[in-house]
Amino acid sequence: MPTPTAALVLADGTVFYGRGFGAEGRTVAELCFNTAMTGYQEVMTDPSYADQIVTFTFPHIGNTGVTPEDEEASEPHAKGIVVKWDPTAPSNWRSTGTLPDWMRRTGRIGIGGVDTRRLTRAIRNLGMPHVALEHRADGNFDLDALRAAAAGFQGLEGADLAKGVTTAQTYRWQDGRWSWEGGFAPATEGGPKVVAVDYGAKRNILRSLVSAGCDVTVLPATATYEDVMAHDPDGVFLSNGPGDPAATGEYAVPMIRELMEKTELPIFGICLGHQMLALALGAKTVKMNHGHHGVNHPVKEITTGKVEVTSMNHGFAVDAGTLPATVEETHISLFDGTNCGLKVKDRPIFSVQQHPEASPGPQDSFYLFERFAASMRPAAEPAAEADTAD
């Protein structure tokens, strides 16, 4: 049997050996699992995966290669990946390279040959563990040191990770969504002006706003009320992002509350942005056992009874029992009943836990971007109501 070149060590001392690929070295993180059958490059570059290592339950990871068009940020944010089978040579007309080479170039560690079913069962039963992952070509591992490193990881509870992944400066986003015919669509002029607060925004969320007709300006996570209003927006978008929402809320919540108190602007939040809005409204968030990570999550819109298959990526959830009377729960997960959406009664303020932009995943929830855009148009302007998916 070949000598293992990678080891995944859990804080409780459990060891998984395998074959390393990507960069050599050691990293520590929280371990989650993702059930998507495609889109591993989007997952790796999603800022919401900061300080996490991703176990992919689907075995064929790497078979479509990589392309810059599929990156959700300028660099990967997940610290590593765990897979069943070693990545194979890519077979895809869009591929410009291999997953192992891309991971080596970007400093990310992978381990193949792992019993991912066993590992996923452990995560489901015991929660997302703290782990250390090491790739060494010589196969010489100090297991005690790796276990100690895993046990010493601070975890995501209480961690504000948004400041580490947000933009450093304000900028305007101008690309729409990708299409087979022409690549990324250019922005159109004259749409409602949206300030997007970046807690770790995926590029395809910004593209979806543009494709819904919005003129998008992106601000850092620490933006103040004055920073936002300096752009004279027609609406405010709160992005996805990593970490503990209560920690990020220390500086984000006061700004959101001020927006709600002093303006009538429409506000739309996704993922961490959903949690930020809930906290600003007086609700609480809780750490989940193993979170929701995948592209097959059924979510029910309560008012219509419509079920959407959605893309999810979160380890914290809004506690629906703490929502005030002024707020209506709009969506729930059909996996576990957790909150997946809210809106303020009689005001154009709403948010969802799922990712309507997908990337990867289904497009069932894209109508939410159109609903947000419609909420910013003057009442006299003719616009079709976009409350249901096509």
What is the reported pLDDT for 331? 98
Task: Given the residues 42, 71, 301, 357, select the one marked as catalytic.
Answer: 357
Asked about 301 being catalytic, the answer comes back as no
Is pLDDT above 60 for 175? yes
Mean confidence (pLDDT) of the chain:
95
The pLDDT value given to residue 337: 98
271 classed as catalytic: yes
Q: How far is CA 18 from CA 55, 129, 139, 354, 375, in A?
A: 13, 18, 10, 33, 52
Kindly name the residue from 77, 271, 314, 331 that is annotated as catalytic.
271
What's the pLDDT tens digit per position in 185-238? 887 888 999 999 999 999 999 999 999 999 999 999 999 999 999 999 999 999
The answer on pLDDT for 178 being more than 90 is no
pLDDT tens figures, 233-251: 999 999 999 999 999 999 9
Question: Which helix H or strand E contains 278, and what residues bound it?
Answer: helix 272-280
| The predicted structure's pLDDT at residue 64 | 95
Mean local confidence (pLDDT), 14-36: 98
Q: What is the predicted pLDDT for the residue at 106?
A: 98
| Tokens describing residue 291 | 């979170």
Which domains can be identified in the chain, with CATH numbers? 6-151 (3.50.30.20), 162-375 (3.40.50.880)
What whole-number distance in Å separates Cα of residue 193 and Cα of residue 376? 9
Which residue among the candidates 290, 293, 314, 355 is catalytic per the annotation?
355
Contact (Cβ atoms closer than 8 angstroms) between residue 12 and residue 129: yes
Q: In the structure encoding, which two tokens stand for residue 363, read together?
A: 């497009």
214 is catalytic: no
**Average pLDDT, integer, range 107-132:** 97
Q: Where are the beta strands (DSSP E) in 105-220?
A: 109-112, 130-135, 171-173, 175-179, 183-186, 193-198, 215-220
pLDDT of res. 187: 78
389, pLDDT greater than 70: no
